[in-house]
Amino acid sequence: MASIRDLKKDINYVLGDIIEAVYIWELTADNKDAQKGDAIIDETIEHFDRLIAKVNDKSVENRSKHLSEVNKELEEVANGLVEKLNKLS
């Protein structure tokens, strides 16, 4: 596992890129159905807050394993959000 700082950066960059992609979709989409995009952005922010809280949780027994699980969860969450974004197109 890389450093905690790198994991936090990964969470920030990956979820930030998803939010940026939603904004781009909203700007380029002909329809004015921005509520679906806003829902994805809200969900992304909720995942961000939850994952950062998990990274900052120092009360876990095996920290290295815990951080690996957070990294795996980030991948799963990002894939799910990208699928939702792709359905909007």
Distance CA 45, CA 67 (A): 19
Question: Tens digits of per-residue pLDDT, 6-23?
Answer: 999 999 999 999 999 999
Total number of domains constituting the chain: 1
Q: By residue range, what is the domain housing residue 47?
A: 4-88
Q: Please tell me whether the overall predicted TM-score, pTM, comes out greater than 0.85 for this model.
A: yes
- Residue 2 is predicted with a pLDDT of 60
Q: Are 11 and 48 in contact (CB under 8 A)?
A: yes
Say whether pLDDT at 1 is over 80.
Answer: no
Query: What distance in Å separates the CA atoms of residue 15 and residue 76, rounded to the nearest whole number?
Result: 12
Tokens of 46: 């909720």
CA 4 vs CA 24, 46, 59: distances in Å: 30, 20, 15
